[in-house]
Chains A and B, each alone.
Chain A
Amino acid sequence: MDSITSAASVIAAGLAVGLGAIGPGIGQGTAAGSAVEGIARQPEADGKIRGTLLLSLAFMEALTIYGLVVALVLLFANPFAG
């Protein structure tokens, strides 16, 4: 792998993880905060709130995982390595 390709891959990997984690991070924080508030207000709805939180976190965290996978592929299994 030439130096320009490896430099571009490392920068792209950093950008993929960094930019990809911003949105899900904000969303997860908001969702978890609201869920804890809801559980505190209505302890009898604990399971339902946790279930909904689990499903929404799983969908949100997938976006982080996509960025992470792209970054790891660029670093360890680079298709442009030639």
Chain B
Amino acid sequence: MIDSARLFRAQEPLLATPPLPHNDSASSEVLQGEGEDLPVVAADPVPEAAAVSSDDYLRLQRRLLLATLIVSAIAVLITALAFNLHIAGSLLVGALGGLLYLRLLARSVGKLGNGAKKVGKTQLLVPVVLVLASARLPQLELLPALLGFLLYKPALILQVLLDS
């Protein structure tokens, strides 16, 4: 037969166990601060650092576009002097296409994670339109336009070398 009085005594210490102490500092601060002024919580430094970091990205974009513009201008000038204005015009159109491509790619990378889950493909329309235009229009030469489009690459390589 079970002795109910003994059973009750056995459970008594368990019921009387005091609550475990809280390790959470915030809640203990709140408990300690009862009746006093609320503790001042320092602002989270991460958003500020993220804002500075996104400024870095904007600066990199601007530097890349500027470097592409300078490389393109030099290449167009050399082509105009070495060949003729017709080829230099094609190279200029291609270089403008390259600038647009780089701008669209930078925008699509900027959107990544802020709503977009993957890198966009709109920038790939630029070389398509460029090749189609140079195939249809007699004013545009295909090869100079393509080489002009690829002038963003030396600028990128220059940027990588400068960064490293």
Contact = CB atoms under 8 A, between A and B. Distances in A.
A40 B132 CA distance: 41
A7 interface: no
A35 B108 CA distance: 13
Interface in A40-70: 40, 43-48, 50-51, 53-55, 57-59, 61-62, 64-65, 68-69
A63 to B, nearest CB: 12
Interface in B85-104: 102
Contact of B50 (A43, A53, A58): A43
Nearest to B159: A55
B142 to A, nearest CB: 6
A13 B67 CA distance: 33
A36 interface: yes
B142 A73 contact: yes
B153 A62 contact: yes
A44 B106 contact: no
A32 B159 CA distance: 20
A55 B150 CA distance: 14
Given A28-B119, A36-B113, A69-B131, A58 B152 contact: yes
Interface of A: 28-29, 32, 35-36, 39-40, 43-48, 50-51, 53-55, 57-59, 61-62, 64-65, 68-69, 72-73, 76-77
